[in-house]
Amino acid sequence: MIYAYEIEGGKVALDHKPPRYSTPYIEIEELPAGPRDSLRIVKGKLVSNATIKRAINAKAKLAVAKQDRDDSLDALVHDFGDGRVMQIRPKDDQFVKGAIDLMEMAGITSMDNWVMLDDRKYTVTVDELKAARMAGLLSVSAIFSAYAI
pLDDT at residue 149 in the model: 60
Q: How far apart are CA 94 and CA 85, in angstroms?
A: 18
Signed CA dihedral, 146, 83, 99, 106: sign only: negative
pLDDT digits (tens, 9 = 90+) for 62-73: 999 999 999 999
What are the φ and ψ backbone dihedral angles of 52, each rounded to 5 degrees?
-65, -45
pLDDT digits (tens, 9 = 90+) for 19-48: 777 778 888 887 777 777 788 888 888 888
- The helix-helix angle for 49-74 and 126-146 (nearest 10°) equals 170
Q: Using one digit for the tens of pLDDT, what is the confidence trace for 129-144?
A: 999 999 999 999 999 9
End-to-end alpha carbon distance in the chain = 38
Mean pLDDT for the chain? 89
| 87 vs 76: CA distance, rounded Å | 6
Rounded to the nearest 5 percent, the helix, strand and coil shares of the chain are 45, 25, 30
What's the Cα-to-Cα distance from 2 to each of 13, 16, 135, rounded to whole Å?
A: 10, 5, 60
Average pLDDT rounded to a whole number, residues 102-108: 97
SS3 96: helix
> pLDDT exceeding 70 applies to what percent of the chain?
99
